[in-house]
Amino acid sequence: MVLVFVLLLLVAVCLGILRAILHGTLTLDRVDERLGTLPLPASPWKFQPTDDLIGVPGRIFIVGIPFTRRMHIWIRCPGRPTGEGTLRPGGQRYISGVWVTHNAAVADDSQPHSIDLDSAEL
Protein backbone atom coordinates (compact mmCIF):
# COMPACT_ATOMS: atom_id res chain seq x y z
CA MET A 1 0.00 0.00 0.00
CA VAL A 2 2.85 2.38 0.82
CA LEU A 3 4.53 1.54 -2.49
CA VAL A 4 1.38 2.45 -4.42
CA PHE A 5 1.14 5.78 -2.56
CA VAL A 6 4.80 6.56 -3.29
CA LEU A 7 4.33 5.73 -6.98
CA LEU A 8 1.22 7.93 -7.23
CA LEU A 9 3.06 10.76 -5.49
CA LEU A 10 6.00 10.37 -7.89
CA VAL A 11 3.67 10.47 -10.92
CA ALA A 12 1.95 13.63 -9.57
CA VAL A 13 5.31 15.34 -9.06
CA CYS A 14 6.44 14.43 -12.59
CA LEU A 15 3.18 15.72 -14.09
CA GLY A 16 3.54 18.95 -12.11
CA ILE A 17 7.06 19.48 -13.40
CA LEU A 18 5.97 18.79 -16.99
CA ARG A 19 3.07 21.25 -16.70
CA ALA A 20 5.38 23.94 -15.29
CA ILE A 21 7.77 23.85 -18.27
CA LEU A 22 8.22 27.30 -19.81
CA HIS A 23 7.79 27.90 -23.55
CA GLY A 24 7.87 30.75 -26.05
CA THR A 25 9.60 34.11 -25.47
CA LEU A 26 9.25 37.13 -23.23
CA THR A 27 9.47 40.58 -24.81
CA LEU A 28 10.48 43.45 -22.53
CA ASP A 29 9.36 46.97 -23.50
CA ARG A 30 9.22 50.48 -22.08
CA VAL A 31 7.20 53.32 -23.53
CA ASP A 32 8.16 53.58 -27.24
CA GLU A 33 11.27 51.45 -26.67
CA ARG A 34 11.79 47.72 -27.22
CA LEU A 35 14.36 46.58 -24.70
CA GLY A 36 14.96 42.91 -25.34
CA THR A 37 13.63 39.45 -26.04
CA LEU A 38 14.21 36.55 -23.70
CA PRO A 39 13.75 33.03 -25.15
CA LEU A 40 12.30 30.68 -22.55
CA PRO A 41 13.96 27.26 -22.25
CA ALA A 42 12.12 23.96 -21.94
CA SER A 43 12.60 23.91 -18.17
CA PRO A 44 10.43 24.94 -15.19
CA TRP A 45 12.53 28.04 -14.41
CA LYS A 46 14.82 30.67 -15.96
CA PHE A 47 17.29 32.93 -14.19
CA GLN A 48 19.20 35.63 -16.11
CA PRO A 49 20.97 38.96 -15.56
CA THR A 50 19.03 42.01 -16.78
CA ASP A 51 22.06 43.96 -18.07
CA ASP A 52 21.50 43.00 -21.74
CA LEU A 53 17.70 42.89 -21.50
CA ILE A 54 16.76 46.25 -19.96
CA GLY A 55 20.13 47.99 -19.67
CA VAL A 56 20.04 47.98 -15.86
CA PRO A 57 22.14 45.65 -13.69
CA GLY A 58 20.02 43.14 -11.82
CA ARG A 59 18.32 39.78 -12.27
CA ILE A 60 15.11 38.38 -13.71
CA PHE A 61 13.78 35.09 -12.35
CA ILE A 62 10.91 33.23 -14.04
CA VAL A 63 9.20 30.15 -12.60
CA GLY A 64 6.47 28.09 -14.28
CA ILE A 65 3.41 27.38 -12.13
CA PRO A 66 2.22 23.75 -12.41
CA PHE A 67 -1.25 22.94 -13.78
CA THR A 68 -2.11 26.56 -14.71
CA ARG A 69 0.56 27.18 -17.39
CA ARG A 70 1.14 30.60 -15.83
CA MET A 71 4.54 31.93 -14.84
CA HIS A 72 5.66 34.03 -11.90
CA ILE A 73 8.27 36.70 -12.70
CA TRP A 74 10.54 38.63 -10.34
CA ILE A 75 12.69 41.55 -11.52
CA ARG A 76 15.26 42.78 -8.99
CA CYS A 77 17.55 45.67 -9.78
CA PRO A 78 19.60 47.61 -7.20
CA GLY A 79 18.24 51.11 -6.64
CA ARG A 80 14.84 50.28 -8.16
CA PRO A 81 11.73 48.84 -6.54
CA THR A 82 11.50 45.05 -6.73
CA GLY A 83 8.78 43.95 -9.08
CA GLU A 84 6.92 40.69 -9.33
CA GLY A 85 3.84 39.41 -11.06
CA THR A 86 2.05 36.43 -12.54
CA LEU A 87 1.67 36.17 -16.29
CA ARG A 88 -0.73 34.02 -18.33
CA PRO A 89 0.36 32.38 -21.59
CA GLY A 90 0.17 35.07 -24.27
CA GLY A 91 -0.43 37.76 -21.61
CA GLN A 92 1.14 41.11 -20.77
CA ARG A 93 2.04 42.64 -17.40
CA TYR A 94 3.76 45.77 -16.10
CA ILE A 95 6.53 44.76 -13.69
CA SER A 96 9.08 47.15 -12.17
CA GLY A 97 8.76 49.78 -14.91
CA VAL A 98 8.88 47.27 -17.78
CA TRP A 99 6.07 45.80 -19.91
CA VAL A 100 6.59 42.04 -20.05
CA THR A 101 4.76 40.24 -22.89
CA HIS A 102 4.67 36.48 -23.33
CA ASN A 103 4.74 35.28 -26.92
CA ALA A 104 3.56 31.67 -26.92
CA ALA A 105 5.36 29.22 -29.15
CA VAL A 106 3.22 28.06 -32.10
CA ALA A 107 4.09 25.08 -34.26
CA ASP A 108 5.05 26.02 -37.82
CA ASP A 109 2.54 23.59 -39.37
CA SER A 110 -0.53 24.98 -37.58
CA GLN A 111 -2.66 27.83 -38.88
CA PRO A 112 -4.05 30.53 -36.59
CA HIS A 113 -7.59 29.74 -35.37
CA SER A 114 -9.09 32.93 -36.81
CA ILE A 115 -8.09 32.19 -40.42
CA ASP A 116 -9.55 29.31 -42.42
CA LEU A 117 -7.69 29.27 -45.72
CA ASP A 118 -9.76 26.40 -47.17
CA SER A 119 -13.10 28.20 -46.98
CA ALA A 120 -11.87 31.75 -47.61
CA GLU A 121 -13.05 33.42 -50.80
CA LEU A 122 -10.28 35.22 -52.63
Comparing 117 with 28, the larger pLDDT belongs to 28
Q: With cut-offs at 50, 70 and 90, classify the pLDDT of residue 106.
A: low
Could you tell me what percent of the chain has a pLDDT over 70? 81
Neighbours of 77 (CB within 10 A): 19
> Across the chain, what does the average pLDDT equal?
79
Tell me: pLDDT of 67 over 50: yes
Mean pLDDT of 72-81: 87
Kindly list the domain boundaries of the chain, sorted by start residue. Answer: 2-103
d(CA 2, CA 7): 9
Mean pLDDT of 97-120: 61
- pTM: predicted TM-score of the whole model, two decimal places: 0.71
Beta strands in the chain (DSSP E): 25-30, 33-39, 45-49, 59-64, 71-76, 83-87, 92-95, 98-103
pLDDT tens digits, one per residue of 83-105: 999 988 888 999 888 889 988 76
d(CA 22, CA 44): 6
Mean pLDDT of 54-68: 85
